[in-house]
Amino acid sequence: MQALILEQQDGKTISSVQTVEDSRLPEGDVTIDIDWSSLNYKDALAITGKGKIIRNFPMVPGIDFSGHVRASEDPRFHAGQQVLLTGWGVGENHWGGLAGQARVKGDWLVAMPKGMDGRKAMIIGTAGFTAMLCVMALEEAGIRPESGEIVVTGASGGVGSTAVTLLHALGYQVAAVSGRESTHDYLRSIGAHRILGREEFAETRPLEKQVWAGAIDTVGDKVLAKVLAQMNYGGCVAACGLAGGFALPTTVMPFILRNVRLQGVDSVMTPASRRAQAWERLVRDLPESFYTQSATEISLEQAPEFAGKIMNNQFHGRALVKIA
Ligand SMILES: NC(=O)c1ccc[n+]([C@@H]2O[C@H](COP(=O)([O-])OP(=O)(O)OC[C@H]3O[C@@H](n4cnc5c(N)ncnc54)[C@H](OP(=O)(O)O)[C@@H]3O)[C@@H](O)[C@H]2O)c1
């Protein structure tokens, strides 16, 4: 099989597409022929070596994939069945999706939901799945379209784009925060009703004028601090990312004076039942237009180039990787 292999040379991460014997696949009870994978922020960190995502080399990156079961020792899966996977440390500490095949635990797989196919599933990928979990978190906090405006940060990225699209489709008014003028038309086309520059989120006071009923934050640091200070009384922030940094320079004020909820969202260890629920919602709520407006299809060979673009904030939407 062909695989993107990451190796270390003089402390640097080197990536190359290589032909690999499938006998080198890691242990697992289901072997999958991969059709599609995608590039997420974490993949970009791993492939470029800019983040300490991978500790054991050589490693096949790719934190998500879709494909067909080749062989299974798990009774829940049979040869030919379509499956998808996101998270569980695959592509971090277990060979991942940027390869012709993968071998994983059956527990990590999701049977392809009705109404979904492998290509669409990886246009969504980890990023879109996480956006859905964030939307569900806002709903569970009682935030409805009539509650007020929702702000999405890092809006032109993978999580951000899917969040904007989903919220707009569900009838919410969505404000997008972006660091790039070049993506404004794109953000409007997927449903942002207004766009704010990232620079407006550089400084904050502990409390500011109340603006947002809800927020989906993919950026962290000062941007998240500003969003918290601008939340309406009783609002909720679903925080899933750190594209701007892992710090959180805030105070307790929004929490104790405005009853604001900060809900963390993790997609890696999400239990199976909630995964199934999120994928069902994606089938139902994500408009067909998303798959054309937000996807760029690339080859396995192009993955390192596009990982560089993601790290340099020169890519928007989702990078779908064609494997088969
Ligand atoms: N918790 C989880 O399970 C989970 C799952 C998936 C992703 N994530 C995290 O969520 C974040 C977004 O992931 P993604 O796949 O959507 O990445 P992405 O496609 O690269 O999008 C990130 C976006 O953040 C903005 N951004 C980039 N650099 C920034 C900086 N220095 N300061 C402020 N904003 C910056 C950019 O949006 P604009 O150009 O529009 O400003 C960029 O498009 C990442 O931190 C990722 O690790 C977490």
Pocket of ligand 1 (CB under 6 A): 40-42, 126-127, 130, 154-160, 178-180, 183, 198, 218-219, 223, 240-244, 265-268, 310, 313
Q: Are residues 107 and 133 in the same domain?
A: no
Residue 315 has what pLDDT?
98
Q: Is residue 149 part of a domain?
A: yes
Distance from the CA of 157 to the center of ligand 1, in angstroms?
6
Picking from 223, 248, 264, the residue at the C-terminal end of a domain is: 264
Mean pLDDT of 141-164: 98
Q: Which of 269, 322, 261 is nearest to 296 (CA)?
A: 322
Q: Are residues 133 and 245 in the same domain?
A: yes
Q: Are residues 307 and 215 in the same domain?
A: no
Picking from 264, 286, 306, the residue at the C-terminal end of a domain is: 264
Q: Is residue 34 part of a domain?
A: yes
We report the CATH number of the domain holding residue 316 as 3.90.180.10
Q: Are residues 108 and 42 in the same domain?
A: yes
Distance from the CA of 35 to the center of ligand 1, in angstroms?
25
Domain residues for the domain of 137 are 125-264
Q: Are residues 92 and 131 in the same domain?
A: no
Q: Are residues 242 and 193 in the same domain?
A: yes
Distance from the CA of 269 to the center of ligand 1, in angstroms?
19
Domain count, the chain: 2
Question: What SS3 class is residue 171?
Answer: coil
Residue 100 has what pLDDT?
98
pLDDT tens-digit readout, 285-298: 999 999 999 999 99
pLDDT tens-digit readout, 224-258: 999 999 999 999 999 999 999 999 999 999 999 99
Residue 127, both tokens? 């990023």
Residue 191, both tokens? 């449903």
Query: What is the chain's length?
Result: 324
Print burial letters for 48-63: b (CB count within 10 Å at least 16), e (below 16).
Answer: bbebebbeeeebbbbb
pLDDT tens-digit readout, 45-98: 999 999 999 999 999 999 999 999 999 999 999 999 999 999 999 999 999 999
Q: Is residue 312 part of a domain?
A: yes
Residue 269, both tokens? 């260890």
Determine what percent of the chain is predicted with pLDDT higher than 90.
99
Q: Against a cut of 0.75, is the pTM above it?
A: yes
Q: Are residues 312 and 205 in the same domain?
A: no
Give me the sign of the Cα torsion angle 305, 311, 317, 320: positive
We report the CATH number of the domain holding residue 217 as 3.40.50.720
Q: What atom in ligand 1 is closest to the CA of residue 183?
A: 40
